[in-house]
Structure 1
């Protein structure tokens, strides 16, 4: 029987390092089949490695002023608990290249990595869409919207009827020698980032 069928620990409010809301103004997105995930053998909630397939890359999207958001919501189903995962972000631009990226995210499946503002946790860096991937379900552009200067509001979420069996996975990647840290995890992700940042 899996340890996830029985509670095995308690928790209390963090007074020394109180939790902080929000995520950093950056997300990493990659095609579902381009990066292989390695899980901790003792805990499927932890990803310990990201390996590119061939020359595949991770793509970095940078924003400003809290323009990205993530959410995870439990949904009870007939076969057990499942999680709906969503990432909202904005794109300030209107080029043909941007439109091509939107179409690709709407038809193909991607996974996304978010970096929480709260760093005093083993889930400071999280992956969304680990099992079923994410697709672009909303892409809205209002040309007169001054808050986005006529850019796009986007939402990545699970494909229809394919919710995730676990909450967003923590990413914790160790360097070649030593234990995994926040810095080593970000360094491992950045090592796979393609040149050029999309905003």
Structure 2
């Protein structure tokens, strides 16, 4: 019986472009059912298109001083590998509109796009929650926390028992003519931002 998947390449770390940890202080979040995903025909790990359903928007959250983080953890299950995806970020604000957004992320499912500090690979921009979406599992506010000035510390992760079947997908969107680049992908994301 053949193995379901087989490795097909090796890799080496380059000295010209050393690996850089962390993600930029920006996260793009959208409701799971409001932006349709198109996958690359040759590589299902690449999202090659994002299309708004109706007048849907992508919402941009910005932070400072490396206050955002993303994590992907492999878990072996009886049916194969699954990935737990998490994004931690902070919100400085206490308005009722902020609280309404927190409630929406807690009950509905969202997807999130992050930008890695390491730009040399083809996964500089990644999508989390591609298959099962993400929900807000932690929203902690300590009014005396000087680190976030009394704001919220948030965690988006997969719903219970719904881990992702793939690691975070690369997002690589080509312009109307030409090949996909980092700049063309960012431009496509920004075009969908509210």
Superposition TM-score, scaled by structure 2 size: 0.98
Report the Cα distance in structure 1 between the residues aligned to 2:108 and 2:20, rounded to whole angstroms.
Answer: 33
Report the Cα distance in structure 2 between the residues aligned to 1:122 and 1:174, rounded to whole angstroms.
Answer: 13
1:103-137 CA-partner distances (Å, limit 9, x unpaired): 00000000000000111110000000000000000
Report the Cα distance in structure 1 between the residues aligned to 2:125 and 2:37, rounded to whole angstroms.
Answer: 14
1:35-71 CA-partner distances (Å, limit 9, x unpaired): 0000011111000000000000000000000010000
**Secondary structure of the equivalent of 1:5?**
coil
The 5-angstrom pairing of residues 1-199 of structure 1 reads 5-194=5-194
Report the Cα distance in structure 2 between the residues aligned to 1:14 and 1:69, rounded to whole angstroms.
Answer: 24
Report the Cα distance in structure 2 between the residues aligned to 1:84 and 1:66, rounded to whole angstroms.
Answer: 22
**Secondary structure of the equivalent of 1:146?**
coil
- Which consecutive residues of structure 2, in runs of 5 or more, have no partner in the other structure? none
Report the Cα distance in structure 1 between the residues aligned to 2:106 and 2:192, rounded to whole angstroms.
Answer: 23
Q: Offset at 1:13?
A: 1.3
Q: Offset at 1:4?
A: 7.3
**Secondary structure of the equivalent of 1:72?**
strand
Q: Mark the CA change 1:24 to 1:89 in structure 2 (over 3 Å): closer, same or farther.
A: same
**Secondary structure of the equivalent of 2:30?**
strand
**Secondary structure of the equivalent of 1:66?**
coil
**Secondary structure of the equivalent of 2:44?**
strand
Q: Mark the CA change 1:176 to 1:4 in structure 2 (over 3 Å): closer, same or farther.
A: farther
Q: Offset at 1:152?
A: 0.3
Report the Cα distance in structure 1 between the residues aligned to 2:5 and 2:143, rounded to whole angstroms.
Answer: 49
How many pairs does the alignment contain? Answer: 194
Question: Superposition RMSD on alpha carbons, in Å?
Answer: 1.5
Report the Cα distance in structure 2 between the residues aligned to 1:166 and 1:14, rounded to whole angstroms.
Answer: 26
Superposition TM-score, scaled by structure 1 size: 0.95
